[in-house]
Amino acid sequence: MMRLTRDSRHKIAGELDDLNAQLTFTRRERPASSGDTLILRPFAGEADREIFAARTRDTGTAGDGTGGPVGDLDDEIRAALARIHAEEAAWFVAVDGTQKVGMVFGELVGHEVHVRIWIHPDHRHKGYGTAALAKSRPEMAAYFPAVPLVIRAPGARPS
């Protein structure tokens, strides 16, 4: 198993600090952004069907990050669990208390991990996306050591 070097861990921490320094909102405006109450736990297939179905309805795209059309929900979940088992993906559910507020998807593509974050429409603009991004970095680094992370923001358009 490959381990991150001390220098790599410091570089990742520095990148996260730089990201945090670029935030333009206050904690009062988006209280969940601190991440104090948010946890990421591994996607549990059928137990997380409802939150994944909400994401699928909201985005209208397949869960694998290809941007392709949505398939049958059971097929999508089975395919995701197969990729997770094959260590080609890591999916997490973002939970605050008892509420599932979003999902984080990491898909191994070539020599990169493409990370996508989706927050349920009822929970947007509260800081959950920021918190999920911050919490996902060490999770993805643990699942995919020394593999560069590429963050995808579905609503963002390249300039």
Q: Which CATH superfamily is domain 30-152 in?
A: Gcn5-related N-acetyltransferase (GNAT) (3.40.630.30)
How many CB atoms neighbour CB 127 within 10 A? Answer: 22
Of residues 144 and 13, which shows the higher confidence score?
144
pLDDT of 106 above 90: yes
Q: Which amino acid is at 69?
A: P
* Helices of type H across the chain: 6-21, 49-59, 73-85, 128-143
Mean pLDDT score, 104-119: 93
Mean pLDDT score, 128-137: 90
pLDDT, tens digit (0-9, with 9 covering 90-100), for 54-65: 999 999 999 988
The answer to whether residues 101 and 93 touch, using CB atoms and an 8 Å cutoff, is no
Could you tell me the CA-to-CA distances from 103 to 32, 44, 158 in Å, in that order? 15, 12, 22
Q: Which residues contact 89 (CB under 8 A, 6 or more apart)?
A: 64, 80, 83, 105, 106, 107, 108
pLDDT of 26 above 60: no
pLDDT of residue 17: 59
Query: What integer best gives the mean pLDDT of the chain?
Result: 83
Q: CA-CA distance, 43 to 103, in Å (whole number)? A: 8
Q: What is the distance, to the nearest Å, from the Cα of residue 43 to the centroid of all Cα atoms in its chain?
A: 11
Collapse the DSSP code of 108 into the 3-class scheme (helix H, G, I; strand E, B; otherwise coil) and give the result.
Answer: strand
